[in-house]
Amino acid sequence: MNVLRRAALVLVATPIGNLGDLSSRAVHELGTADLIACEDTRRTGRLLSLAGIERRPLLRLDDHTETARTAEVMARIERGERVVLVSDAGMPGISDPGERLVAAVASGGYTVEVVPGPSAVVTALAGSGLPTHRFCFEGFLPRRRGERMARLGGLAAEPRTMVFYESPHRLAATLADLAAAFGADRPVVVARELTKLHEQWWRGGVGQAAAWALEASPRGELVIVIQGAPPAPEPRAGDLEAVIAARLAQGSSVKEVAVEVAGQFGVSRREGYAIAVRLAAAARSAPTEPS
Ligand code: SAM
């Protein structure tokens, strides 16, 4: 436990379902805070009483009030106080309020401390059985379908395991969109009600997952973990040259061909351009058929 009691903003992770996951360090910080900034004062008040923590001064800090409350929190830290920040569940600042406050406190030169603990993203990833050595967290997808599909289109070739938060009523549609963007066979894990009584891990192909979600309408909180794209096959030089020669024969310019094959074969434009120039010159000097 930290024996120093210095002025700071202290981010404290709270349980995502199981009260037993509240660490003793979290209890200490909550019990001794000069101020607890929280998303919902009633919910945090309940957590404090369930954990047997004496009531502390609470300040509501949610998505709508975060910017307005930042100056107040910084003034308290300036005065030498320890301000604890919690969200409704999990790690503050992770798809929850806190990001802007932490940025302001850090850039103001004040101390930021973190009491680590539960977070749905890491919990789901760790138990997914999918590759964990490289991953990316995508939070919630945009709600508008066009924006969602554009986001997913940009992720179709992402090689790292991806983690998404989603609400239960959008699960089936999101899994169907993931199947459309990544292919129905892409392995996925839906981690539901983590650390709670009805914890469930659904594992399989994303197309099958969409059908399951449509049929079962699973409720509760959930995380989608999906495997990254397999590595693209190495382009064979013969294929690349054949495509370039065909495009040139169809009338494309060397510049157009260079851009096209860069996307298709994963070579640099400069490389594609050089091959196109060579093949175009060879085609010009090739003997023509007598008419
Ligand atoms: N800050 C939180 C964290 O560190 O995990 C996340 C807050 S975000 C507003 C809430 C989302 O987290 C839910 O919609 C769900 O996707 C995920 N989540 C939170 N608790 C969960 C649980 N017990 N099981 C599965 N997913 C959970």
Whether 121 lines ligand 1, by a CB cut-off of 6 Å, is: yes
pLDDT at 14 over 70: yes
Write down the pLDDT at residue 290: 57
pLDDT at position 66, please? 94
Residue with CA nearest ligand 1 atom 8: 95
Tell me what pLDDT residue 240 has: 87
From 44, 164, 221, 222, give the residue whose CB has the most ligand 1 atoms within 8 Å, as the site to mutate: 221
Task: Assign a CATH topology to domain 3-118.
Answer: Cobalt-precorrin-4 Transmethylase; domain 1 (3.40.1010)
Q: Tell whether ligand 1 has an atom less than 6 A from the beta carbon of residue 261.
A: no
| Token pair for 250 | 């169809």
How many angstroms separate the alpha carbon of residue 257 from the centre of ligand 1? 46
Q: Is 17 in the pocket of ligand 1 (CB under 6 A)?
A: yes
Show the 3-state SS of the chain.
CCCCCCCEEEEECECCCCHHHCCHHHHHHHHHCCEEEECCHHHHHHHHHHCCCCCCCEEECCCCCHHHHHHHHHHHHHCCCEEEEECCCECCCCCCCCHHHHHHHHHCCCCEEEECCCCHHHHHHHHHCCCCCCEEEEEECCCCHHHHHHHHHHHCCCCCEEEEEECHHHHHHHHHHHHHHHCCCCEEEEEECCCCCCCEEEEEEHHHHHHHHHHHCCCCCEEEEECCCCCCCCCCHHHHHHHHHHHHHCCCCHHHHHHHHHHHHCCCHHHHHHHHHHHHHHHHHCCCCCC
CA distances from 69 to 15, 36, 42 (A): 24, 12, 18
Q: Which of 14, 16, 167 to mutate to test the pocket of ligand 1 (most atoms within 8 A of CB)?
A: 16
Q: Which atom of ligand 1 is found nearest the CA of 199?
A: 24
CA 107 centroid distance within chain: 24
Which amino acid makes up residue 58? L
Residue to substitute in 21, 61, 88, 165 for testing ligand 1 pocket (most ligand atoms within 8 angstroms of CB): 165
Alpha-carbon distances, residue 102 vs 107, 110, 275 (angstroms): 8, 10, 51
For residues 100-119, average pLDDT? 98
Indicate whether 265 pLDDT > 60: yes
Mean pLDDT, to the nearest integer, of 230-242?
Answer: 80
43 CA distance to ligand 1 centroid (A)? 15
188 DSSP β-pair partners: 204, 226
CATH architecture entry for 121-226: 2-Layer Sandwich (3.30)
Percent of the chain with pLDDT over 70: 97
Q: What is the mean pLDDT of residues 171-190?
A: 97
Tokens of 205: 């192909």
User: What is the pLDDT, as a whole number, of residue 289?
Assistant: 58
- Tell me how far the alpha carbon of residue 94 lies from the centroid of ligand 1, in angstroms: 9
Mean pLDDT lowest for which of 118-132, 134-148, 244-258? Answer: 244-258
Between 123 and 232, residue with greater pLDDT: 123
pLDDT of residue 20: 97
Average pLDDT over residues 155-172: 97
14 CB near ligand 1 (under 6 Å): no
Instruction: Say if residues 164 and 141 touch (Cβ distance below 8 Å).
Output: yes
Q: Is 95 in the pocket of ligand 1 (CB under 6 A)?
A: yes
- Which amino acid is it at 97? P
pLDDT band at 288, cuts 50/70/90? Answer: low
| Residue found under tokens 């138990």 | 127
Q: Which of 63-67, 111-115, 233-237, 276-280 has the highest mean pLDDT?
A: 111-115
> CA 66 to CA 86: how far, in whole Å?
12
Given this model, what pLDDT does residue 1 score?
Answer: 52
Q: Mean pLDDT, the chain, as a whole number?
A: 93
Over pLDDT 90: what percentage of the chain? 81
- What integer is the mean pLDDT of 240-247? 88
**From the CA of 275, how far away is ligand 1's center (Å)?**
51
Q: Hey, whose CA ends up nearest to atom 23 of ligand 1?
A: 194
For residue 196, which atom of ligand 1 is closest to its CA? 23
Angle formed at CA 179 by CA 178 and CA 182, multiple of 5 degrees: 75
Ligand 1 centroid from CA 171, angstroms: 14
**Burial degree of 197 (CB within 10 A; 0-12, 13-18, 19+):** exposed
Distance CA 82, CA 35 (A): 7
Neighbours of 168 (CB within 10 A): 14
Q: Report which residue type is found at 271.
A: E
Ligand 1 centroid to Cα of residue 96, in Å, is: 9
